[in-house]
Amino acid sequence: MAMTLKRVLNVGGNSKAIPLPPIYAGWEHVLLDIDPAGKPDIVCDARNMYDLPGASFDAIYCSHNLEHYFLHDAIDVVLGFLHVLRDDGFIEVRVPDIGELMRLVAQNNWDISDTVYISMAGPISVRDMLYGLQAQIEQSGNDFFAHKNGFTRQSLTELLTGCGFKHCFVSTADIEIVVYAFKSPPNAYARELLQLDKREAK
């Protein structure tokens, strides 16, 4: 019997030209984005994922998107994750680590315009991390690129568990928080794929 192709929903990924992490190699990549310019498969505001068929994806990948919503709207986004995710699936959420940013600002006496790191898009300042990449917002004219929220390890985990994700595995690196979250206890496949034994369980 042929194996069913696993499906990952990339929420707010902008364009399929931006590669997914290697763990999704061989999966069907479905891109959802509010901006049609990146030619997403689904043009949709992530707050409205309840309009999509339920339990239709094995994984949801959401990288540096959740901070673009006010907290009450981010709750709607995460509840949408819960709706479209299969019971044995998982979500991968990546956001800037504002807790670590605050520690670095205090430690280094940085000003808001000081550079935190250099990305493929160029220098990223304290202001960019807090409020969104200023050059992108200016050039695009789209204020949905602005940040309306920020997360620490604790606050992101509380958001996910509060919306119904009962098992969260957290790691941080390079001023970024990565969380894998599950509705149900992760199975052996997910544990091996995501190397969950190396991550902190919440």
Instruction: Residue 176: name the closest of 114, 126, 135, 129 by CA.
Output: 129
Per-residue pLDDT of the chain (202 residues; tens, 9 = 90+): 446 899 999 999 999 999 999 999 999 999 999 989 899 999 999 999 999 999 999 999 999 999 999 999 999 999 999 999 999 999 999 999 999 999 999 999 999 999 999 988 889 999 999 999 998 889 888 888 899 999 999 999 999 999 999 999 999 999 999 999 999 999 999 999 999 988 888 8
Q: Which domain holds residue 44?
A: 7-96+150-201
- Classify residue 102: in a domain, yes or no: no
How many separate domains does the chain show? Answer: 1
Residues whose CB is less than 8 angstroms from the CB of residue 54 and which lie 6 or more positions away in sequence, other chains included: 83, 84
Nearest to 64 by CA among 175, 183, 167: 175
Q: Domain for residue 79, yes or no? A: yes
Query: Which residues fall within 8 angstroms of residue 149, CB to CB, at 6 or more apart?
Result: 66, 67, 68, 69, 70, 71, 74
Position 173 in a domain:
yes
Give domain status of residue 187, yes or no: yes
CATH number of the domain bearing residue 162:
3.40.50.150
- The answer to whether position 175 is within a domain reads yes
